[in-house]
A and B are shown apart, each in its own frame.
Chain A
Amino acid sequence: MDFDLTEEQSILKDSIERLLADNYGFEQRKKYMASPEGWSAEMWRSYAEMGLMALPFAEADGGIGGGPVETMIVMEALGCALALEPYLPTVVLGGGFLRLGGSAAQKAEFIPGIVGGSRKLAFAQAERHSRYDLHHVETTARRDGSAYVLSGAKGVVLHGDSADTLVVTARTAGGTRDEGGIGVFLVDANAAGVSRQGYVMQDGLRAAEILLDGVRVGTDAVLGDPEGGLSLVRRVVDQAIAALAAEAVGVMSAMHALTLDYIKVRKQFGVPIGAFQVLQHKAVDIYVALEQARSITLYATMMADSDDAAERQRAMHAAKVEIGRGGRLAGENAIQLHGGVGMTMEYAIGHYFKRMTMIDLTFGDHDHHLRALGEAGSLFAA
């Protein structure tokens, strides 16, 4: 049992925190958000130069050979800065599909571009009626000679507008809600038949609605088994949930710090409002929620690459339940303690609250995962 970072991991943490402290102030973030991409291409280059894109890939594939702990360190820092860049979809999701499901040829084709910062990916999974079910896939992939023809509509694809390559789930067999018959395809985002409508989300991050209208891809575009892709999807999404949990810890730690700073300075009735016990106890509630979130995230991180799918999924359910519950509690209290100023667009705390709220709605909210955990059984071995 060891919760310490290695020396390399500590250096990574310091480096990224310094980079973001110097370049990701709240005012700078507003500028990045107002740019055409909606995020900073310059920061993206800096991440690549720092090796953040290379982190999770094997050294043989041009990566650094990091694991879930390295991803956790990066995501927590990005959450703390409220970073807008497509790290999760490109490196954690897209990279995850390549690492866990890619052939040697696919790895050779795509990973160098990711590592270098020139290729961005997005995971086109959700559909209008799928809600949070990864196996609910209406989009079809029809076999046509040596090609597949993809047709369907994907929604709320995180950073789908700026992606160069889409990872698309599509049905090769069976009915809409069957667990079998799902394929995972690498699709050029600019291929004929792909149309994208990009937009900004509540938290300032970008997403897209994506229409696939008879998009032809070769059989070399299939990641793994064309009819058995769901287990790959679940593995990758589980790792993304662990990463999201780490981002949530970053968001919550920033909310905690901002709120403390505020109630120590803001005066009413002639004293800092942090002198009032009722507000102190709310601040403690935020602190406890943060520490609980940090703990469950460590658990999820260390389970993220477990081969025991049932145990791994229970851990991710637990993480989503805890950050959903605690994140909302922390966010709502943080706004409340800021009072009127917390309501304003120009103040940072509301933006953290919005990101926290969107994290809950990503890959299954609190209730979705609580139900799933209830079905799955105990978190504790007998």
Chain B
Amino acid sequence: MDLRFTQEEIAFREEVRAFFRDNVPEATRQKLLDGEMVTKEEYVAWTRILDARGWGAPHWPVEYGGTGWGPMKQYIFLEELQRYPAPQPLAFGVNMVGPVIYTFGNAAQKARFLPRILNLDDWWCQGFSEPGAGSDLASLKTRAVRDGDHYVVNGQKTWTTLAQYADWIFCLVRTDPEAKKQEGISFLLIDMKTPGIEVRPIVTMDGGREINEVFLTDVRVPVENRVGEENRGWDYAKFLLGNERTNIARVGMSKQRIARIRELAAREMSGGRPLIEDPRFREKIAAVEVELKALEMTQLRVVAADARRGNTGRPDPASSYLKIKGSEIQQATTHLLMEVMGPYAMPYQPEADDFSNEPPIGPGYGSHAAPSYFNNRKVSIYGGSNEIQKNIIAKAVLGL
């Protein structure tokens, strides 16, 4: 048993750090530090820098453009990325649809889509949830009816993150309405430019425009854009949702936010002295750090086990635990960050993103603290709510 990183891993960490220092555009980094949304152009520009270095999707198999790094190097890479901070490779592409395509897709699909995911030539979004299918995802109703070489798709998807930027959407659609609900679903790749697709924004309570409704009306999708077998889509979706366990806890991101909390709490005053000197506030930070340290150890246990036996690619119930605890910590840190700002968390100034020549009310770095807290309520809801994750653990781990 040994907690230390190897010399090779330490050198690798230095290499990664140096790369971020030299290559992440400073404006992009500053936005992430302040909790602002990065624009599509900034996202694409950064992804292309990563892809040019060969690091567009480190965990992918080498034959599809991955790095061949073991689980520990992948973990180090992501931790450093989050701590710097730099934008993470777009999850919908590299973590979700990419692995589904290289695992279940055919040769033509792999050749067509994978390189464009790596370089963010195609921005992907996720068409899973529907108004009547949230936690009970398998009850989805969007229909795909075969018509010659096409499916004709009708229905509605919702909570579609960044669909306004998307070139493609991967969708779960019902192809056999007679079958048991999990057995009549297929996995389609749909070009967002196809006639019949309409994207309507949903404004979140923080004022952000991140999510959308996607309406599909007689959308014709070539059969060649179905991944895998017809009516097996639920298996691919489960693979997609349970595949992720190196990064689901977002330990690096929470570390970065805690460092930011400490930094800003040294600038904000309370009782005539910096807030960071308040013992009560220090205890609150310490309590979150303890949870995060334990979670980091858990994450490393999972990574080390993967490194030893090889990532089986099978869903692991550890993902559920990492997601529950990781999301709770992310939420706790965003709340602390808002507390740091105190009264200057209150002014609502969404224009702070767009009109930099207007001086902000209060210190500029505080304007996103409250919206970020509000927005982060999502992390215990999306990707399978924390209650669903508890159901998974109860069944898969506890045998209840």
Where the two chains meet, the residues of A that have a C-beta atom closer than 8 Å to any C-beta of B are: 1-6, 9, 69, 260, 263-264, 274-275, 277, 280-281, 283-284, 287-288, 291-293, 295-296, 298-299, 301-303, 317-318, 321-322, 325, 370-371, 373-375, 378-380, 382
Contact = CB atoms under 8 A, between A and B. Distances in A.
9 contacts: A1-B3, A1-B9, A1-B303, A2-B2, A4-B308, A280-B398, A287-B398, A292-B298, A299-B297
Contacts of B170: none
The 7 A-B residue pairs with the shortest CB-CB distance in the complex, in nearest-first order: A374-B282, A295-B297, A280-B394, A374-B283, A302-B3, A373-B286, A296-B294
B167 interface: no
A280 B325 CA distance: 17
Nearest to B303: A1
B290 interface: yes
A292 B291 contact: yes
Contact of A260 (B297, B303, B321, B398): B398
A292 B255 contact: no
Contacts, number: 136
Given A274-B400, A283-B398, A284-B394, A3 B293 contact: no
A379 B279 contact: no
Given A1-B5, A284-B390, A370-B286, 7 more contacts: A1-B4, A3-B1, A284-B394, A371-B279, A373-B289, A375-B279, A379-B293
Nearest to B305: A3
Interface in B243-258: 255, 258
Contact of A318 (B293, B298, B303): B293
B277 to A, nearest CB: 10
A210 B393 CA distance: 49
B150 interface: no
Nearest to B389: A284
Contacts of B321: 287-288, 291
B399 A378 contact: no
B303 to A, nearest CB: 8
B2 A370 contact: no
B397 interface: yes
Contact of A5 (B1, B287, B394): B1
A302 B2 contact: yes
A260 B289 contact: no
Nearest to B328: A288
A287 B304 CA distance: 21
A283 B289 CA distance: 24
B285 interface: yes
- Interface SS, B side: helix
Nearest to B280: A374
Given A287-B393, A322-B294, A380 B2 contact: no
B393 A3 contact: no
Given A299-B3, A373-B286, A375-B279, A260 B300 contact: no
B282 A375 contact: yes
Contacts of A325: 287, 290
B2 A378 contact: no
A224 B259 CA distance: 40
Given A2-B304, A260-B399, A280-B394, A292 B295 contact: yes
A284 B304 CA distance: 23
B369 interface: no
Interface in B377-400: 387, 390-391, 393-394, 397-400
A1 B304 contact: yes
A274 B394 CA distance: 9
A302 B291 CA distance: 18
- Which of B289, B293, B294, B321 has the most CB atoms of chain A within a 10 A radius of its CB? B294
A291 B398 contact: no
A223 B399 CA distance: 52
B399 A380 contact: no
B72 interface: yes
B282 A3 contact: no
Contacts of B21: none
Nearest to A68: B1
